[in-house]
Structure 1
Amino acid sequence: QFFIYYSWRHQLHSETQQVRVRRLGWHWLWVLVVVGVGVTALAQMLNGLDGFISDALKRNSAVYESLQTLTGFGLSGPLLEASTVVLQITAQLLMIRMFAAQWPFWIATNVLTIFAWSLVLLTTPDSAPYAVPTLLMWIAFLINSVYGAVSWHRGAKAA
């Protein structure tokens, strides 16, 4: 948080004191490659650790089992989990550099996480005391991300 504040503070427009919104250009291709490789690598790692960790993490266990039942594909749970982690890291790095391209990554993270928590709620109804507030939080994050995407897109057009 402090690094982002410091980085943004030194990138403000001198006259308006507004953040300089940047577009990603052709570099988006590299971002997608890194995201793809990161998701695959992390999914393989999570799949290897699944039996060890899933007992401690109720959400992962419920999501992994539900996804495997729905898809018949054992790696679908770790892929979902890895996707949200890698997308969040990518979005955070893009945010540090003030790229408007961060918002699709935040939106994708929120949609995937809402899907995961919805699965938990549907497959484990007794999870409602912790799943419903968490689901509502991620829905609020999604609304914020859509608002941020629209605002930054307008700012990038004006720049």
Structure 2
Amino acid sequence: MTVTSGPATAPQSFWRAVYADLFLGYTRFEKIFYPALILLQVVFAIAYPTGIVGSIIAISGTICVALVGKGRISNYFFGVIQNVLYFWLSLQAVFYGEVMISVFYVLTQFWGLYTWRKNLTPAASSSAAADSATKTEPRDVLTRRIGIVGWLAILAILAAGTWLYGLLLQELNSNQPFIDSFTTVIAVIAQILMVYRFREQWLLWITLNLAQIVLWLTSSEPGSLDIVVMYIAFIFNSVYGWYNWSKLSKPVSA
């Protein structure tokens, strides 16, 4: 009598896919670069313990952006962890713009997960899968780029949004209202570009990360230095993310 393993293969396939998404398909450089970014956060958290919340935000956030840079859909799991805790820390620091953007980030994790799942590199053929049942190839997101018209629209929205939102935050007595406003508006734009898989997000993230370092250096909340170190790691990752997505992306019409 032949015993089949039908339904039992489903969870096995799921965990193989998770493992492949997290650990397979990296270049030699990426095998050094990404762990180094994560290790930086771990070492800083151990050497300068300023708060467990800040440390978890920094570590989970670095893992998240590293996976985004590689185009891996598992980034959204770590994104939820990072941004739920970032909401709490920003509230304590009275950075109301950061509080609001963290809520937006959490919601867009699910939006991005839906969008990215529909735009992954094609899976291996069924015949190939049958020949190698224990091997699962990672599937990266399909990336694209925008043109000059898109950039002009982005800059116009950024300028108007920063001014208007800064006035609102000023009325709410937020710390550093216009820096807070700038980081919030540029983050919204960059996150939308990420959800829709545009490489231009990375230039906005670089600008945002520099502004975030200035913002969090003004805070005396426990865990603030962890956030500063996290954003330093984000800058390095954003530079490589721009390079990597530029190789993979294709131009699209407005």
| Shared fold, TM over 0.5 | yes
- Kindly tell me: are residues 129 and 12 of structure 1, through their superposed partners in 2, closer, same or farther at Cα, counting changes over 3 Å? closer
Shift of 1:133: 1.6
Whole-Å separation in 1 of the counterparts to 2:205 and 2:143: 16
What pairs up with 1:1-159 in 2 under 5 angstroms? 1-14=109-122, 17-25=139-147, 26-50=149-173, 54=174, 60=175, 77-120=176-219, 127=220, 129-156=222-249
Determine which structure has more spread, i.e. the larger CA radius of gyration.
Answer: 2
How far is 1:13 from its partner? 3.5
Q: Which amino acid aligns with 1:115?
A: V
Say what the alpha-carbon RMSD is for the aligned residues.
Answer: 2.4
* CA distance, structure 2, for counterparts of residue 86 and residue 30 of structure 1: 13
| Distance apart, 1:21 and its partner CA | 1.4
> Residue 10 of structure 1: CA displacement?
0.7
Once residues 251 and 155 of structure 2 are traced to their aligned partners in structure 1, the CA distance between those partners, rounded to angstroms, is 26
One-letter identity of the residue aligned with 1:23: R
CA distance in 1, matches of 2:202, 2:141: 15
* Separation of aligned partners in 2, 1:117 and 1:12: 35
| TM-aligned CA deviation for residue 19 of structure 1 | 2.1
Shift of 1:137: 1.6
Instruction: Give the structure-2-normalised TM-score.
Output: 0.46
State the secondary structure of the residue aligned to 1:46.
helix
Q: CA deviation at 1:143?
A: 1.9
How many percent of aligned residue pairs carry the same amino acid? 36
| SS, match of residue 18 in structure 1 | coil
- How many residues are aligned here? 129
Higher relative helix content: 1
Are 2:199 and 2:249, in contact at CA under 8 Å, matched by a contact in 1?
yes
Q: CA deviation at 1:156?
A: 2.3
Q: 1:94 to 1:158 in 2, by over 3 A?
A: closer
Cα pair distance change 1:14/1:117, threshold 3 Å: same
In structure 2, runs of 5+ residues without a counterpart are 1-108, 125-138
What is the alpha-carbon distance in structure 1 between the residues aligned to residue 158 and residue 199 of structure 2?
17
* Deviation, structure 1 residue 100: 0.5
Letter in 2 for 1:3: W
Shift of 1:129: 4.5
Larger displacement relative to structure 2 (145-154 or 102-111): 145-154
**How far is 1:116 from its partner?**
2.0
* Alignment-mate amino acid for residue 33 of structure 1: A
2: distance between equivalents of 1:128 and 1:4? 31
